[in-house]
Structure 1
Amino acid sequence: MAQPISQSSVDPPRLDVPVERFRRYARGRIVHFWKRQILTMIGSAYLMVMISPLMGFLAGAIAVLGEIIDYVNLNHQLKALDRGRAFGKVSDRASLSATVQALSISICILMAWFMPQTVNGSQFALVFLMSAALNAGLVWPYHKPSASSRLLVYGITFVAGASAEFFTSNGGFDAYLSEAISMLLMCYIVTIVLQFVIGSYARQTRSAQQILSASKALEASDRQKRKSQEQLRRLSLVARYANDSVVILTPRGEIEWVNEAFTRITGYTREEAIGQLPSQLLNDPDTDPEVSKSIGKHVREGKPIRAEVLNRCKDGARIWMETNIFPVRAEDESVEMIVAIERDITALKEHEEELAAAKHLAERGEQSKSEFLATMSHEIRTPMNGIIGLSDLLVEHDLPDDVRSYALTIKDSAGALLSIINDILDFSKLDAGKLTIDPVEFDLRACLASSIELFVPQANGKGIYLDVVEDRPLPNHVIGDDGRVRQILLNMIGNAIKFTAQGGVTIKTRLTEEVGAYRLVIDIKDTGIGIAQDRIAQVFEKFQQADGRTTRKFGGTGLGLSISKQLAEHMGGGIVVQSTLGRGSTFSISLTFGMPRRASDRAKPVAAQNAEIQPMSILIAEDNKTNRFLISKYLQGLPLDICFAHNGRDAVEHTREHKPDLIFMDMSMPEMDGLEATEHIRAMSDIRPHIIALTANAFASDREACFQAGMDDFLAKPVKKADLLGKLSKFSAARQANPL
């Protein structure tokens, strides 16, 4: 029958989401199911008394059936909502069961409305209809679709009952009008009550929302306030107990507050510091005045600055402070205060001074090392020049077999010693990062052929083969350092032959063209002793060979492979090795060369290197007697007027007096060295001889020093006859092409 107002109706709705409001609606209907049935039973009993027991029971059964359907459906929809069913479907099904429940109540109301005329059933039906409508309207804030469905059904029921009342009324129009007015008044009362209730809920909701918003804003403000207070407390603790000195200054630059670290570092108490200018309190007599002026200027202008300043503590100790000064501005951009954070960097400064001193010592040590290597190079190469040169001259003579063997032994031993010296010097230059690559245009095919040709006698002497395989012809013109290429080839081919007793060595070249460059891979494969797999990586280490017994048996410094690998890497490549112990090794050398300009763009040579040597006057400035004798022997039989100078001063005087065409100038001589002598000669306005340096110092810096002093060419000791004659031929060709 009619519905009582459930307990859930008086609870304020949740203000968050429709789903939660629906849950409150459904749970309220379920919890208060039996309370609603009390009036249903009362109405059913009324009908039993007024009409018949059967009619009362039937009406009660219909009303309870509608309630049960709504109860079961709402319980099921709550569970479905928990399982994740879409709220739209849950809401629609709840509205449907609400409609069914409202229809069951409407049927009971209509049964009461149309009781026999002896009973005033319409008044009873209207009262229950009003009660049901009020109940439906009260749940409007929780689930509007269910409330709307019930109110629509009850509205239709009212219209149907009122219409039937009009057509079945026996008291005439006046009697119906009286009842109609009563029904309209009751309907109006229901409408007013529902509007009030719904409006009250709306106002309550808005008020709750405003209170909630204000509460949240107040809570957020309170949280922010507490957070700010906590931050201020922590900042205060940080500033107070920080290891760095913290000083707060007034806009005029006077100390207003200092932390405990300031007192600990400087020795001044807070009371002694407040009101003082930092410069007056802390500056040392040796403090840089420019730094002090800069700090004062930035403080007065309210600009940040970072500086390192020398300070003096209260006890007179000097300390270095790194200071970071920055202004704190108010909302109107005026400077409110100035904060200075200072750190004691005295230990860092002392460390920097120690590092600077150590760097200076290291540089002096490196310079001393370079000077020692230069001196060693000169002192060793100078006598080596005599040994190698004189042994070459001996071999050229018709000698008895035993004497020739002695001369060859001297020559080979001197060559081996020179190779060791060159390896040590190259290693020193690589270690110091001073080894340079000097790219020039050269004939790659001729360079490779001439390097291999040097080892043909050695291979023939050991009874092994030396084969060359080219996948394609090598170019005649490339850009690279031909001297370093020869050095790598001599090291690698020499090693292959040295460690091969049977079989032989095969040299295979593979050439590819890249963008603006050539890529050359040279595989040197031998059938020698090979290398154990666990020792392969070691062969490229300095002063190392695969096996210690190798050094004792075959000799060598253990530098050749290391130097060759680094040289190859300097030339855009590298060296890799594959080897099997007892079966030989394959060293693959990769090098990158530049492509020269077109042949038509290349400058044509002045003359051939082997041009005929023309008559000329030559001065040999050399302090070593053996070297003077050797050079004179090299030049014997040529149309040359040769004079000698024993030191640089003699060379200058001889040049001023005799005006020679060409001077071979030793760099290291007593009284005046070759560089200084050259500078004096170049200062003479009327004399311009061609000067070629003779030096045992084989560093690139020595070559550069020669050219800067005014020399024209360079010969490294030990001087070979072919190289010496080549320089003379080149100079003769230049004189012929450009006569004065």
Structure 2
Amino acid sequence: MPADDLEFEQMLTEFEARHSPEGLLERYARQRPAYFWFRQVFALGGAAVLFLTGHPQAGLLALGTLVFGDLVDCAFLSTVPRKLAKGVPHKQLYWLTTLTALIQSLTSLALIILPTALGSPSATLAFTMAFIAGAGVNASYLLSFHPAATIVRLATLFASGIGILAYVVWQRHISHEAQLYSFFAFFMILFLIYTFLQYSRRGFAHKTKSARRLLEQSRKLALANKVLHEQESEVRRLALVAQHANDSVFVSDSSGRILWVNNAFTRLTGYSAREAIGAFPAALLNGPATDAATNNAIISAIKAGKPLRTEILNTCKDGSTIWVDTNQVPVLAADGSVEMFIAIERDVSARKKHAKELAAAKRSAEEGERTKAQFLATMSHEIRTPMNGIIGMADLLRDAGLSKEQRSYVETIRYSAEALMRIINDILDFSKLDAGKSIICPVDFDLLGCVESALSILRPKALEKEIFVDLNCHTPLPALLHGDDGRIRQIIINIVGNAIKFTRAGGVTIDLSCTTTAAGHTVTLAVTDTGIGIPADRIDQIFDQFSQADGEITRQYGGTGLGLTISRILAHEMNGDITIRSRLGEGSTFTITLMLDHALADAAQSPSKSPKTDAVKAVKLPGVKALVAEDNMTNQLLMKSYLKDTEMNVLFAGNGHEAVRLARRHAPRVIFMDMSMPGMDGLSATRKIRADTSITQPTIVALTANVYASDKAACLSAGMDGFLSKPLKRAELMGWLNQI
């Protein structure tokens, strides 16, 4: 008997399917052909009678007619299961099988009509009645499966019987006494068939009902056994868990007297089970320092039969005191009365001891946060001044009539300085916003121009990654709006820049729309990418400061973790918001909503920006192979420029895996290894190279922005020969090249 409830449900479903109209028709279609040869034996017997009475041709005709009719019926019935499976309507097949049953029943009349026509009616009358009785019983067998077919067959047989009797009486072939017996015999046959019909119908109904009831009872019994087994297993498991639990567990009666304790109770209090059983917990464990109000609350809960969770100071057998978190739960009997109490207690002395320390630490952390915010703001200001000088001097140098190559170097300087400036600005902006200071400066501006200028800054990076950036305007846009176009551009650059950063294939689509009311304009930008997506459990934290979806993301893709935080705060400053929808591996949609005012004047603004680049000098090492493992393209260009005049054969790797592969293949004499790269970092790559005996071991120099002693020690322990700090100085690089 199946023990799984699903199996019983399947069995019940199959049972109902077999007894549905479609199922009964299919069973009829299978069973009727199954007895084809049995019916032909009956037909052969009738044909043999005609042979023996001197009518061989009539016997063959009767046999052929009966076989033909049965073949027509069975041939069509054999196709019914397939037709049902293909979806042919049940009613259509039901009436078609009724028609084939009529054809079969009409052909069966050959054994009634031919003997009567060829022989003496008085002699063939008994044969005719016997044939009607046998055929009627045979037809009645499948009444419950196909009532219409059964009725058609019986009606044909009864009509033929009445016809034969009427013919015999009309022709006066038999005496009145024989006629009376014949009519009586015919009605006896009718009664016999009717009785068989009732028996067959009731028997089928009883069998069906019994089978269904048996299935349901078996299912209920199996479920009851399963529940009982699970309960017994649960009781055993709970007993084992309680006995071996790390928390102290004791069971007391309705008055509070201890009935049972586990091993952890003895370890916690020092009292053995023999000492504890029969005692009241308060008398056993309370000491002078125990709070009386807490003890009274426990006693009141026991008397009232209510659960209680509290903390209380207990005294152990050796006199020491411990704080315990006690959770006491009543177990109720069937009549609702309290049968026993189960108490689970845990030592929380350490937590109590550290509670004050944690509170002090919290106050210290809050003070540290304030100090940090002040420090970041101060440092950002201090760094912005020389950074502005660098960018300004780069602008002057770019316009000083340099060659194309020199100009590209200056552009790289400017681009790198601007990238650093953006980070500094992010930190300063966040410090201001975190301090509650507004940094919104509204002006009249062109919304479309603002969006397009932001995208023009980002498109080169998208082209470099071979992904698209599309802008779709879904509504007409006002010529001018009143808002902070610089902050709006900053939001777009942060959100779209993030989308480009985390998209490897496909692209980014920006859907822009604007709804105008009397109060102002609601601007909506939906930024949809086909990137890596965000795990569902990280979406709520994505806008937290210094946070990204995954710690690994920071290392692989970079970023301060402030961009999204600042963008959302700026959106809030403009009475809007930024929301996100994302599926891991399928991309994300950031929806930016901003509330802007009507333009005050009749003028538009359209700002423009400029690009980036850098320069160097060298030592002669013709033909010497050098490998630069660096994922940042600007740093690669910088190294390429520094090493250009050395006449070295320089190879570049974008990650640790590629660095190991190129080291095996080209055996460079020196490797400049960036410590932080996607996939495999520089330390891991160095360990792999040092462990590979097939590689001619090169000089490995770390390229690192970290100048802490611990970072330098990590480089040396990984097998590096030294390190160069970023920003890289050409003189230091040449110093290392002179040593190889």
- The alignment's TM-score, normalised by the length of structure 2, stands at 0.50
The answer on whether the counterparts of 1:257 and 1:274 sit within 8 Å (CA) in structure 2 is yes
Note the alpha carbon deviations across 1:312-359, whole angstroms, 9 max, x for none: 333444332211122222333221222222223233333334323434
Between the aligned partners of 1:267 and 1:158, the Cα distance in structure 2 is 102
Q: Does 1:535 align with 2:425?
A: no
The answer on whether the counterparts of 2:433 and 2:439 sit within 8 Å (CA) in structure 1 is no
Between the aligned partners of 2:87 and 2:171, the Cα distance in structure 1 is 52
Which residue of the partner structure matches residue 124 of structure 1?
Answer: 127
Instruction: Report the residue type matching 2:437 in the other structure.
Output: H
Which residue of the partner structure matches residue 283 of structure 1?
Answer: 286
Which residue of the partner structure matches residue 650 of structure 1?
Answer: none
More moved, 54-63 vs 190-199: 190-199
Matches for 1:19-98 after TM superposition, within 5 Å: 19-98=22-101
Secondary structure of the residue that 1:532 maps to in structure 2? helix
Which residue of the partner structure matches residue 274 of structure 1?
Answer: 277
Q: Does 1:355 align with 2:222?
A: no
Secondary structure of the residue that 2:336 maps to in structure 1? coil
Q: 1:178 aligns with which of 177, 181, 187?
A: 181
Instruction: Report the residue type matching 1:159 in the other structure.
Output: I
The answer on whether the counterparts of 1:98 and 1:149 sit within 8 Å (CA) in structure 2 is yes
Q: 1:427 aligns with which of 374, 380, 387?
A: 374
Instruction: Report the residue type matching 2:179 in the other structure.
Output: Y
Which residue of the partner structure matches residue 112 of structure 2?
Answer: 109
Shift in Å, 1:492: 9.9
Name the CA shift for 1:263/1:102 in 2 (closer, same or farther; >3 Å): farther
Shift in Å, 1:45: 0.9
Which residue of the partner structure matches residue 139 of structure 1?
Answer: 142
Matches for 1:49-448 after TM superposition, within 5 Å: 49-117=52-120, 120-171=123-174, 173-359=176-362, 427=374
Between the aligned partners of 2:411 and 2:109, the Cα distance in structure 1 is 114
Which residue of the partner structure matches residue 4 of structure 2?
Answer: none
The answer on whether the counterparts of 1:50 and 1:119 sit within 8 Å (CA) in structure 2 is no
Secondary structure of the residue that 2:108 maps to in structure 1? helix
The answer on whether the counterparts of 1:51 and 1:115 sit within 8 Å (CA) in structure 2 is no
Name the CA shift for 1:117/1:14 in 2 (closer, same or farther; >3 Å): farther
Matches for 1:453-468 after TM superposition, within 5 Å: none
Note the alpha carbon deviations across 1:282-330, whole angstroms, 9 max, x for none: 2343222222221221121111211122223334443322111222223
The answer on whether the counterparts of 2:258 and 2:277 sit within 8 Å (CA) in structure 1 is yes
The answer on whether the counterparts of 2:248 and 2:345 sit within 8 Å (CA) in structure 1 is yes
Note the alpha carbon deviations across 1:603-651, whole angstroms, 9 max, x for none: xxxxxxxxxxxxxxxxxxxxxxxxxxxxxxxxxxxxxxxxxxxxxxxxx
Secondary structure of the residue that 1:311 maps to in structure 2? strand
The answer on whether the counterparts of 1:13 and 1:21 sit within 8 Å (CA) in structure 2 is no
Instruction: Report the residue type matching 1:258 in the other structure.
Output: V
Q: Which structure has the larger Rg?
A: 1
The answer on whether the counterparts of 1:307 and 1:324 sit within 8 Å (CA) in structure 2 is yes
Between the aligned partners of 2:416 and 2:394, the Cα distance in structure 1 is 24
Note the alpha carbon deviations across 1:79-127, whole angstroms, 9 max, x for none: 2234443433333333222222222112322223444227611210110
Secondary structure of the residue that 1:332 maps to in structure 2? coil
The answer on whether the counterparts of 2:33 and 2:77 sit within 8 Å (CA) in structure 1 is yes
Name the CA shift for 1:231/1:147 in 2 (closer, same or farther; >3 Å): farther
Which blocks of at least 5 consecutive residues in structure 2 are unaligned?
A: 1-14, 397-409, 443-449, 458-483, 489-569, 576-740
Name the CA shift for 1:362/1:77 in 2 (closer, same or farther; >3 Å): closer
Matches for 1:618-637 after TM superposition, within 5 Å: none
Between the aligned partners of 2:574 and 2:91, the Cα distance in structure 1 is 78
| Identity over aligned pairs, percent | 30
Name the CA shift for 1:350/1:193 in 2 (closer, same or farther; >3 Å): same
Shift in Å, 1:18: 4.0
Between the aligned partners of 2:151 and 2:240, the Cα distance in structure 1 is 64
Secondary structure of the residue that 2:278 maps to in structure 1? coil
Note the alpha carbon deviations across 1:106-159, whole angstroms, 9 max, x for none: 232222344422761121011011111111111123333332332222222223
Superposition RMSD on alpha carbons, in Å? 4.6
Shift in Å, 1:280: 2.0
The answer on whether the counterparts of 1:15 and 1:209 sit within 8 Å (CA) in structure 2 is no
Secondary structure of the residue that 2:135 maps to in structure 1? helix
Name the CA shift for 1:211/1:169 in 2 (closer, same or farther; >3 Å): farther
The answer on whether the counterparts of 2:165 and 2:182 sit within 8 Å (CA) in structure 1 is no
Name the CA shift for 1:87/1:331 in 2 (closer, same or farther; >3 Å): same
Shift in Å, 1:58: 0.2
Instruction: Report the residue type matching 1:314 in the other structure.
Output: K
Instruction: Report the residue type matching 1:343 in the other structure.
Output: R
Between the aligned partners of 1:77 and 1:587, the Cα distance in structure 2 is 75
Which residue of the partner structure matches residue 571 of structure 1?
Answer: 438
Name the CA shift for 1:298/1:191 in 2 (closer, same or farther; >3 Å): same
Note the alpha carbon deviations across 1:560-608, whole angstroms, 9 max, x for none: x66995499622638999999xxxxx995799899xxxxxxxxxxxxxx
Instruction: Report the residue type matching 2:158 in the other structure.
Output: G
Shift in Å, 1:538: 3.3
Secondary structure of the residue that 1:243 maps to in structure 2? coil
Between the aligned partners of 2:105 and 2:39, the Cα distance in structure 1 is 13
Between the aligned partners of 1:206 and 1:587, the Cα distance in structure 2 is 79
The answer on whether the counterparts of 2:143 and 2:197 sit within 8 Å (CA) in structure 1 is no
Between the aligned partners of 1:34 and 1:162, the Cα distance in structure 2 is 30
Secondary structure of the residue that 1:89 maps to in structure 2? helix
Which residue of the partner structure matches residue 647 of structure 2?
Answer: none
Instruction: Report the residue type matching 2:119 in the other structure.
Output: P
Between the aligned partners of 1:86 and 1:260, the Cα distance in structure 2 is 71
Secondary structure of the residue that 2:246 maps to in structure 1? coil
Matches for 1:484-495 after TM superposition, within 5 Å: none
Name the CA shift for 1:267/1:149 in 2 (closer, same or farther; >3 Å): farther
The answer on whether the counterparts of 2:394 and 2:411 sit within 8 Å (CA) in structure 1 is no
Name the CA shift for 1:306/1:76 in 2 (closer, same or farther; >3 Å): same
Instruction: Report the residue type matching 1:221 in the other structure.
Output: A
Between the aligned partners of 1:223 and 1:206, the Cα distance in structure 2 is 25
Residues matched between the structures, number: 429
Name the CA shift for 1:349/1:150 in 2 (closer, same or farther; >3 Å): farther
Secondary structure of the residue that 2:290 maps to in structure 1? coil
Between the aligned partners of 1:335 and 1:161, the Cα distance in structure 2 is 87
Secondary structure of the residue that 2:78 maps to in structure 1? helix
Secondary structure of the residue that 2:115 maps to in structure 1? helix
The answer on whether the counterparts of 2:143 and 2:200 sit within 8 Å (CA) in structure 1 is no
The answer on whether the counterparts of 1:499 and 1:529 sit within 8 Å (CA) in structure 2 is no
Secondary structure of the residue that 1:120 maps to in structure 2? helix
Note the alpha carbon deviations across 1:358-378, whole angstroms, 9 max, x for none: 346668x879x99xxxxxxxx
Shift in Å, 1:262: 2.5
Secondary structure of the residue that 2:335 maps to in structure 1? coil
Between the aligned partners of 2:412 and 2:17, the Cα distance in structure 1 is 89
Name the CA shift for 1:46/1:255 in 2 (closer, same or farther; >3 Å): same
Secondary structure of the residue that 2:223 maps to in structure 1? helix
Between the aligned partners of 1:60 and 1:13, the Cα distance in structure 2 is 40
The answer on whether the counterparts of 1:568 and 1:589 sit within 8 Å (CA) in structure 2 is no
